Amino acid sequence: MQLIAGFDAGQTHTTCRLALVDSNGTIQPLGEGQGSGVSHLAAAAGEARFQSALSSSLAAARTTAPAAWADAPLATSAVGASGMEAGSAVQARGLELASVALGLPAGAVAVTGDEHTALRGAFPQGEGILLISGTGCICLGQNAQGAQHRCGGWGWLLDGAGSAMDIGRDGLALSVQMADGRLPETALRTALWAALGADTAQQVKARVVEPDFGAAGFARLAPVLDQLAAAGDPHSQAVLQHSAAALAGLVQGVAKHLTMDQPAVCGVGGALRHLVQLRSRFAAALNQVLPGATRVEPQGDATHGALLLAADLRLR
């Protein structure tokens, strides 16, 4: 039995889960803790944040492990973090930083995109399609032959259709068209502006370019549109319908590339979990473009997927 660690590194916090793995690959969870969040490695203080996130979450997880293993050295670790494109210089640098932060040789550490750890956790046996819709969105699948394909996830400035960010942004764009007379006003404008604390279109314009707004600022408006859509607002319904169709298109793109006619599809992420109108419309849209698909619940989360990757390293 050896000690391994799996990390799910997000922007707000990082989760570390410790476990024991035996020679057969059987995993026995021991403890879990949370540490600080990460940002893109190229961002200001990005590298320091990445290492701090790993070390702080590992320290927190050790406090929850049984005393006999709390201070034991790690055999292997795997990290899932957004922005870790496979084969990129960023991924290579992330591996270097993780090795130092965790005190492990490079061969004992895996660093990959969080979509890969989430896919492995959701489908431990391999075959399936994972759709993530949160602040951003991405879809990744693997077929029975082990081939993988991804659609989406190219950053909120280029490719956010189906995400909470896109829903909030599209709704806010409609609100300023209402303000200048291009569209008849509905409850959408007043509700979104109230959420922003804005009274004029000029204030809205100024708010969205503030440094702390960004993708997360738009995403925070998505629940307002979901509630308005449920209440019958036609513009909000159109925005949610567009996003649902975009999500179905991501799944369809992955399934087509991997020749999966009847895939198991798992949808996760804050937008699909909390936005009822988006979730129901996505189900309908998916059934229309990919009638053979079956929606399933994930077998495990992204942190468990990271543990499985760490166990793979241990068994090489």
Residue 131 lies in a domain: no
- If asked whether residues 198 and 261 sit together in one domain, one would say yes
Residues 85 and 194 in one domain: no
Report if residue 156 sits inside a domain.
no
Residue 195 shares a structural domain with residue 259: yes
Contact 68, 295 (CB under 8 A): no
Residues 269 and 306 occupy one common structural domain: no
**Residue 261 sits in a domain of what CATH number?**
3.30.420.40
Domain identity same for 10 and 109 = yes
Cα gap 33→178, rounded to integer Å = 47
**Number of structural domains found in the chain:** 2
d(CA 252, CA 37): 32
Claim to verify: residue 188 and residue 272 sit in the same structural domain: yes
- The pLDDT value given to residue 54: 97
The backbone torsions φ and ψ at residue 123, rounded to the nearest 5 degrees and listed phi first, read -130, 80
In a domain, 47, yes or no: yes
pLDDT value for 261:
95
Domain that holds residue 94: 2-124+299-315
- Average pLDDT along the chain, 316 residues, taken 10 residues at a time: 94 92 91 92 90 97 94 96 88 96 95 95 95 94 96 89 96 97 96 97 96 91 98 97 98 98 95 96 98 96 96 81
Are 168 and 291 members of one domain?
Answer: yes
- Please report whether residue 135 resides in a domain: no
Residue 236 token pair: 């909000």
What pLDDT shows up at residue 40?
Answer: 84
**Contact criterion met (CB below 8 Å) for 225 and 168:** yes
Dihedral of CA atoms 242, 246, 252, 253 in degrees, nearest 10, equals 140
Is the residue at 57 inside a domain? yes
Q: What is the pLDDT of residue 137?
A: 93
- Tell me how many degrees the CA angle 163-167-170 measures, rounded to the nearest 5: 130
Quick one: how many helices (H) and strands (E) in the chain? 13, 10
| pLDDT at 57 (0 to 100) | 97
What is the strand order of the sheet 294-295 is part of? 148-152, 137-142, 128-133, 264-268, 294-295
- Does 151 reside within a domain? no
Q: What is the pLDDT of residue 315?
A: 65
Backbone phi, psi, residue 131, to 5°: -115, 125
Please report whether residue 306 resides in a domain: yes
Kindly state whether residue 69 falls inside one of the protein's structural domains: yes
Looking at the fold, whether 99 and 175 belong to one and the same domain comes out as: no
Whether 192 and 304 share a structural domain: no
The pLDDT, as a whole number, for residue 316 is 66
| Same domain as 170, residue 76 | no
Statement to judge: residues 111 and 185 lie in one domain: no
Domain shared by 183 and 290, yes or no: yes
